[in-house]
């Protein structure tokens, strides 16, 4: 009985990142793995925690399951751990893991009704140690996922099937074998970071530490990737997993070898103990009733019949099987057991239970054999039983019966697989029919929306036609407007050309005349004289200060008329203000700009009453010293004193 709860399953899904679209779920109460449904796969907790199995499954693991024809739910955790450990070691040594290379070291073996892998007995190549012999209490924690998690056909191997497998002689590199043998794999719990490094899982979610690997070889190097850099890491390497099949995808059909693996091996069933010895006959056949004899008579008849009788008894063990042994396990109960007539060996042979047979192939083949037996016995009615037994070819009959029995077992398996496929297709057809029925109302709604959209399209088409007609009218009006504007532009062009010619004449002659008038005007001379006067005062002051003390400078300054000390500041200010001096002549030009250009050129500057030479060049200095000299003479005295 499973001990997992719903909360436990949620934790497993979150911890091991199981895709939710595979519908991880718990089973129904009383479920056992031997009754696994055909649309599900059973996953044990130890597969994830100890074996290192992750979903999506490893491509190499699926190849191993495909070759050995065994269901993943039939393998024990130790066997799966060997497969994952082998793949991890191969990736660590840069060896491509293939099934042939794995078969050099491991072969399929039985563990009760379960299966595992063990090393070959007749080889010295070992790369995996024996490890623990078993795990305790691992069968009580499991859950189910969708069957499409594995795209391949999954064979439910019969517990009485043959698992022998020979060592491969080619198909692998011997150097790879030697490299693997040099590093013995010790089975243990598979760590998460090892699976990440081998690209068997795609993310690293441990935020307590960063993923870090160190490779120790001749070219030692380190590769460090934080958990948040896991996707860039995996984008640079190829994945080693196989994605699940899409929903609704068809399951592949089994091969004849896979069907044989799901059936019991006749060589092994001879050795198995059958609860009750039964024989199978056709319900329509009549077999003569043998006479009951005592044990002494039977012993005597056996001694007389010799080896023929002993062969018959050995072969009877293969032909008398229980109905439960004839129902192979193919992932689920594919169909009901084949109907047949069963006759107890201890009862009269003609007293049997006739059952309606949906598949009569087996009853027919066995009925033929029983009919032959009846004919031979009736032909020797006058002979004793010992004489009949001694003269009848029991060995040939039983050999033929066994061959027919084996062929029927094989065909019965094919029939059951076909029944299962038909049932699967019936289920899919029913689901498709339900989907179609569910799409009916939606289809009607879409048709209604389509009609509304069609009406809207027609309305828009009408509006588009009207817009086209209006557009044609606007185009004609626009053409007329363009012609009118072109005529106006032609007239404006003549005006512009005349204006250009007038401006050219003004720039070439009129502008020069205006500039000359400005430069020769009294107002310009007055402004320029003011700036020049301040400049002369500043220059004289600098000359007087050269080679003199302040006291000597003051004495010399008093001798110069029309001179004031500190003219530098006024001079600097006058230089800055001179370009923006408001000349009345320029104002007249601006006022006359509204007229024609010839009128502008006729503007004249104002004339002052006084001559420009009578304007003082600098403010006078209040100095009544009799020894003062004019500014023009002071410069000569200053130069002489220097």
| Tens-digit pLDDT profile for residues 575-595 | 788 788 777 777 777 777 666
Task: Output the pLDDT for position 2.
Answer: 82
Residue 371 CA to residue 379 CA, distance in Å, equals 12
Identify the band that residue 430 occupies on the pLDDT scale cut at 50, 70 and 90.
confident
Of 3-7, 44-48, 318-322, the poorest mean pLDDT is in 318-322
Of 366, 528, 187, the closest CA to residue 374 belongs to 366
Q: In a 3-state reduction of DSSP, which class is residue 154?
A: coil
Of 56, 18, 85, the closest CA to residue 241 belongs to 56
Domain boundaries, the chain: 7-191, 276-452, 522-641
Integer angstrom CA distances of residue 230 from 56, 89, 106, 269, 330: 17, 21, 33, 52, 40
- Its sign, for the CA torsion 560, 562, 564, 570, is negative
The predicted-structure confidence for 471-481, as pLDDT tens digits, reads as follows 999 999 999 99
Task: Output the pLDDT for position 489.
Answer: 86
Task: Output the pLDDT for position 587.
Answer: 74
Task: Output the pLDDT for position 439.
Answer: 86
pLDDT: is 288 or 245 the higher one? 245
With a CB cutoff of 8 Å and minimum separation 6, the contacts of 213 are 193, 197, 222, 223, 224
Of 374, 337, 375, 370, the closest CA to residue 356 belongs to 337
Task: Output the pLDDT for position 271.
Answer: 60
Q: What percent of the chain has pLDDT over 70?
A: 66
- Among 180-189, 196-205, 297-306, 521-530, top mean pLDDT goes to 180-189
With a CB cutoff of 8 Å and minimum separation 6, the contacts of 4 are 12, 26, 45, 141, 142, 143
**Cβ contact 48:84 at 8 Å:** no
Q: What share of the chain is helix, strand, coil (3-state, %, to 5)?
A: 55, 10, 40
The predicted-structure confidence for 300-328, as pLDDT tens digits, reads as follows 444 443 433 334 333 433 333 333 333 33
341-344 and 278-281 as β-strands: parallel, antiparallel, unpaired?
A: antiparallel
- Among 93-107, 183-197, 387-401, 493-507, top mean pLDDT goes to 93-107
Of 539, 603, 534, 541, the closest CA to residue 569 belongs to 534
Residue by residue, DSSP assigns 105-134 as HEEEEEETTEEEEEE-TT-----B----S-
pLDDT: is 455 or 620 the higher one? 455
Identify the band that residue 389 occupies on the pLDDT scale cut at 50, 70 and 90.
low
Both structure tokens of 101: 């290379």
Residue 35 CA to residue 42 CA, distance in Å, equals 10
H or E, element range at 364? helix 361-379
Of 135-149, 245-259, 389-403, the poorest mean pLDDT is in 389-403
Count Cβ neighbours within 10 Å for each residue of 253-281 and write b for 16 or more, e otherwise. Answer: ebeeebbbbbbbbeeebeeeeeeeebbbb
**Cβ contact 338:256 at 8 Å:** no
Residue 8 has pLDDT above 90, yes or no: yes
Q: In a 3-state reduction of DSSP, which class is residue 202?
A: coil
Task: Output the pLDDT for position 285.
Answer: 38
Task: Output the pLDDT for position 642.
Answer: 32
Claim: this prediction has a pTM higher than 0.75: no
Residue 180 CA to residue 95 CA, distance in Å, equals 9
- Among 68-72, 397-401, 557-561, top mean pLDDT goes to 68-72
Both structure tokens of 390: 């001694």
Identify the band that residue 54 occupies on the pLDDT scale cut at 50, 70 and 90.
very high
106-111 and 114-119 as β-strands: parallel, antiparallel, unpaired?
A: antiparallel
Residue 198 has pLDDT above 50, yes or no: yes
142-146 and 211-215 as β-strands: parallel, antiparallel, unpaired?
A: unpaired
Of 374-378, 443-447, 554-558, the poorest mean pLDDT is in 374-378
Of 75-79, 396-400, 500-504, 596-600, the poorest mean pLDDT is in 596-600
Task: Output the pLDDT for position 11.
Answer: 94
Residue 117 CA to residue 102 CA, distance in Å, equals 10
The predicted-structure confidence for 355-385, as pLDDT tens digits, reads as follows 333 333 333 333 434 444 444 444 444 555 5
Residue 494 has pLDDT above 70, yes or no: yes
Residue 115 has pLDDT above 50, yes or no: yes
Task: Output the pLDDT for position 274.
Answer: 44
Average pLDDT of the chain is 72
């Amino acid at each position: 009985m499973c001990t997992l709860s719903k909360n436990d399953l949620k934790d497993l899904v979150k911890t091991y990142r199981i895709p939710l679209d595979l519908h991880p779920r718990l089973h129904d109460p009383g479920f056992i793995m031997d009754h696994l449904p055909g649309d599900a796969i059973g996953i044990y907790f130890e597969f994830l925690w100890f074996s290192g199995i992750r979903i999506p499954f490893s491509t190499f693991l699926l190849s191993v399951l495909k070759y050995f024809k065994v269901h993943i739910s039939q393998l024990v955790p130790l066997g799966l751990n060997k497969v994952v450990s082998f793949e991890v070691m191969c990736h660590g040594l840069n060896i491509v893991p293939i099934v042939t290379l794995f078969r050099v070291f491991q072969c399929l073996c039985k563990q009760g009704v379960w299966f595992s892998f063990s090393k070959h007995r007749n080889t010295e190549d070992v790369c995996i140690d024996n490890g623990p012999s078993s795990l305790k209490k691992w069968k009580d924690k499991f859950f189910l996922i969708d069957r499409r998690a594995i795209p391949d056909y999954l064979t439910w191997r019969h517990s009485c099937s043959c698992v022998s497998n020979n060592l491969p002689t080619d198909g692998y590199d011997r150097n790879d074998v030697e490299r693997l043998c040099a590093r013995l794999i010790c089975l243990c719990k598979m760590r998460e970071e090892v699976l990440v490094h081998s690209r068997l899982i795609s993310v690293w979610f441990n935020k307590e530490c960063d993923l870090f690997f160190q490779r120790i070889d001749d070219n030692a190097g380190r590769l460090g990737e934080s958990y948040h850099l896991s996707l860039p890491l995996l984008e640079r390497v190829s994945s080693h997993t196989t994605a699940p099949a899409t929903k609704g995808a068809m399951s592949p059909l089994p091969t004849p070898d896979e069907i044989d693996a799901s059936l019991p091996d006749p060589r092994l069933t001879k050795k198995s103990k059958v609860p009750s010895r039964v024989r199978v006959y056709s319900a329509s056949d009549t077999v003569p009733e043998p006479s009951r004899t005592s044990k002494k008579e039977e012993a005597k008849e056996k001694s007389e019949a010799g080896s023929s009788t002993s062969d018959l008894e050995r072969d009877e063990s293969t032909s008398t099987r229980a109905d439960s042994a004839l129902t192979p396990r193919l992932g689920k109960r594919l169909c009901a057991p084949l109907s047949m007539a069963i006759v107890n060996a201890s009862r009269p042979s003609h007293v049997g239970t006739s059952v309606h047979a949906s598949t009569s192939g087996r009853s027919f083949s066995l009925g033929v054999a029983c009919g032959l037996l009846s004919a031979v016995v009736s032909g020797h009615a006058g002979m004793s039983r010992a004489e009949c037994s001694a003269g009848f070819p029991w060995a040939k009959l039983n050999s033929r019966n066994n061959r027919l029995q084996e062929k029927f077992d094989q065909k019965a398996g094919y029939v059951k697989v076909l029944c299962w496929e038909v049932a699967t297709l019936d289920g899919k057809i029913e689901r498709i029919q339900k989907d179609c029925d569910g799409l009916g109302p939606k289809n009607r709604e879409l048709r209604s929306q389509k009609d509304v959209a069609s009406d809207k399209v027609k309305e828009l088409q009408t509006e588009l036609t009207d817009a086209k007609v209006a557009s044609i009218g606007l185009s004609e009006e626009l053409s007329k407007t363009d012609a009118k504007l072109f005529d106006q532009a032609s007239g404006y062009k003549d005006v512009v050309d005349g204006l250009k010619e007038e401006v050219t004449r003004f720039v070439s002659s009129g502008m020069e005349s205006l500039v000359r008038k400005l430069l020769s005007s009294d107002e310009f001379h007055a402004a320029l004289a003011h700036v020049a006067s301040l400049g002369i005062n500043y220059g004289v002051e600098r000359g007087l200060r050269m080679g003199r003390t302040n006291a000597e400078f003051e004495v010399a300054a008093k001798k110069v008329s029309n001179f004031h000390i500190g003219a530098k500041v006024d001079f600097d200010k006058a230089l800055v203000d001179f370009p923006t001096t408001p000349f009345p002549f320029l104002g007249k030009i601006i006022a006359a700009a509204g007229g024609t250009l010839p009128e502008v050129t006729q503007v004249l500057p104002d004339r002052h009453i006084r001559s420009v030479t009578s304007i003082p060049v600098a403010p006078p200095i209040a100095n009544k010293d009799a020894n003062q000299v004019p500014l023009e003479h002071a410069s000569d005295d200053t130069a002489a004193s220097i």
